[in-house]
Amino acid sequence: MVRVLHISDLHMGWIPDTRQEDEYWDRFLKEVETACRERPVNMAVLTGDFCKNGSADEFARAGQALTRLSHMLGVRKNHFFFCRGNHDSDTIYAGSSFDHYRRFLEDFYGPEQIPDQGVVTADGVQVFSLNCCKKTSLARFDDAWLDSEEIDRVLELAEAAGDDGVSRKEESPKEKFPEEKSSEEKSPAEKSLDSREETEPVRVLLHHHQPEILDDQSQMIRLGASGLFDCMFSGHLHCYARKYQWHGLTVINGMAAMPHLDFLPRGFQIAEIEKNCPVKAWGYLDAGQDRFREYEIT
Ligand SMILES: [Fe+2]
């Protein structure tokens, strides 16, 4: 089982006074630290919208907060994974340039250290950052789509994990063999198949938008139909967290860490993911009281 901290929609710059923004992040990060003491996490994922306007300054502040979080949790930076959001183009008025985002990645991980697409972590998690935000503007705020070539590559990399001795489990043994043999009864070949199944990575997709918002669902259908992916994390919705099935994918659609309106609740999530088991998730809700409230996302 792996435990994943999920934060989305940081929106640095939404609080105009940077001193107040710092105070907000002090409180938020302490709550994350407290939650992760109860439920220690192997890794952190951030599903885009680091910024309000995509400026270099906003990205620098996001980088500082996340570096601090990495130290607070004792989770190395190479176990933090990101995808970009519709607020992360260099300016939301400018179209498709994401140079500030690319620089943020280089600064956060270090030169030449940005994790490759489909990298498998030391804990056996294969992570894919999907790029649904390509051209954003205020006028076309929800423009989002996935290119088939990108999904070809994702599927290829997910399948290729098998080349490292990792097999894909088509059906659980109980479904296939009602009278399952005990481990002493199994042949060496069967035992070796079992051990390969155990090492199959947990596969996680990061996608900024809630998947149902895309006009063209063809790539979501391909991802879901492959049966390769254990969880998709997404954001963009802001005001509440939910867990649901979408075209065969289990989706955690998380709250914003900093939503677009003052009065909206805010928060973060922790998910437990295990191969061939339902994903469990908890939300941590800032409803303006002393402490964030923990609840199970059902
Ligand atoms: Fe967004």
Residues of the chain with pLDDT under 70: 141, 162-198
Number of H helices, E strands in the chain: 7, 12
Determine the Cα–Cα distance for residues 199 and 101; give it in Å rounded to an integer: 33
What is the token pair recorded at 77? Answer: 């930076």
Q: What pLDDT digit, counting tens, does each position of 83-120 carry?
A: 999 999 998 777 778 999 999 999 999 989 999 999 99
Among 65, 88, 67, 86, CA closest to 78: 67
Domains of the chain by start residue, with CATH: 2-166+201-296 (3.60.21.10)
Ligand 1 centre distance from Cα of residue 222 (Å): 23
Q: What is the pTM assigned to this prediction?
A: 0.88
Distance in Å, CA 160 to ligand 1 centroid: 31
Distance 66 CA to ligand 1 centre (A): 18
Residue-wise pLDDT tens digits, 10-46? 999 999 999 999 999 999 999 999 999 999 999 999 9
Residue type, 19: R
The rounded distance, in Å, linking the Cα atoms of 208 and 220 is 13
**CA–CA gap between residue 12 and residue 255 (Å, rounded):** 15
Cα 117 to ligand 1 centroid, rounded to whole Å: 22
pLDDT at 177: 37
Nearest to 67 by CA among 108, 95, 6: 108
CA of 235 to the centre of ligand 1 (A): 7
- Residues within 5 Å of ion ligand 1 by Cβ? 49, 85-86, 236
The pLDDT score that the predictor gives to residue 18 is 94
**Helix 56-73, helix 99-109: angle, nearest 10:** 30
> What does the block give as tokens for 66?
């996340």
Most distant CA pair in the chain, distance: 68
pLDDT of res. 191? 53
Among 128, 164, 133, which residue's Cα sits nearest to residue 147?
133
